[in-house]
Amino acid sequence: MKKSILSLLVLAFAAMTSTAMAQEVRQGAVIEFEKDVHDYGEIAHKGNGTYSFVFSNTGSEPLMISNAKGSCGCTVPSWPKEPIAPGASAKIDVTYDTKRVGGISKSVTITSNAVNTPVKVIRIKGTVLAPAPEGEVAPVAEAGPVADAVEEVPPVREEAEEVAPLTKKQIKAKAKAEKKRLKKEAKAKKKAAKLALKKEKAAMKAEAKAAA
């Protein structure tokens, strides 16, 4: 009986200590992100590479972000320079240079006066697709000879027969080029995805090592 009472007292004391510690952590500025990783998925070449990371100050003091730095020059963050009041929300815009084709695996390191995470790392990932090859649109100028043939009634049949084989050759050539392009693009995507995964694992490993 005494052992049971003693165990209950120990548990109660531990719970009170844990609660007190949690309350102590919340004294000061506290930064909390809605999410710290954004996946663009597949994004077009020169497409919109900007994403807004929303965060809140859940602490008791104003939150001040002193710096936000991308892992490379292709990742540019923009953060609020004014203090964020307790209970207020704000955002950090991260813009990736989508002129770079291939996998995305970048990070932004945020420095602030937050008591929970003075140095916070947020990440972006995805794949920038290769631009479409030039001249991929089907030519429309070939309709000209047919129109001319319509004006000259007698030779219509003959000119139509001459145009038809040329159009079929163009369609066949286009289909072959498209098949080749898709195969090349699929190979590039696979390679980019593999490289992005490798970089992300390395970044996570480095972050875990730094946190330790």
Query: How does pLDDT run across 90-137, given as a tens digit for each residue?
Result: 999 999 999 999 999 999 999 999 999 999 999 999 999 999 877 554
Domain extent for 200? 133-212
Q: Phi/psi of residue 103, each to 5°?
A: -70, 150
Q: Are residues 92 and 183 in the same domain?
A: no
Do 123 and 149 share a domain, yes or no?
A: no
How many domains would you assign to the chain? 2
Phi, psi of 188 (to 5 degrees): -65, -40
Distance CA 81, CA 44 (A): 31
Three-class DSSP category at 88: coil
Q: Does the pLDDT at position 36 exceed 80?
A: yes
pTM here?
A: 0.53
63 and 124 both lie in a single domain: yes
Distance CA 20, CA 48 (A): 46
Q: Rounded to an integer, what distance in angstroms lies between the CA atom of residue 44 and that of residue 29?
A: 39
Helix (H) or strand (E) holding 67: strand 65-70
Closest CA to 79 of 71, 97, 67: 67
Do residues 31 and 126 both lie within one domain? yes
Asked whether residue 152 is domain-assigned, the answer is yes
Query: What CATH number is attached to the domain comprising 60?
Result: 2.60.40.10
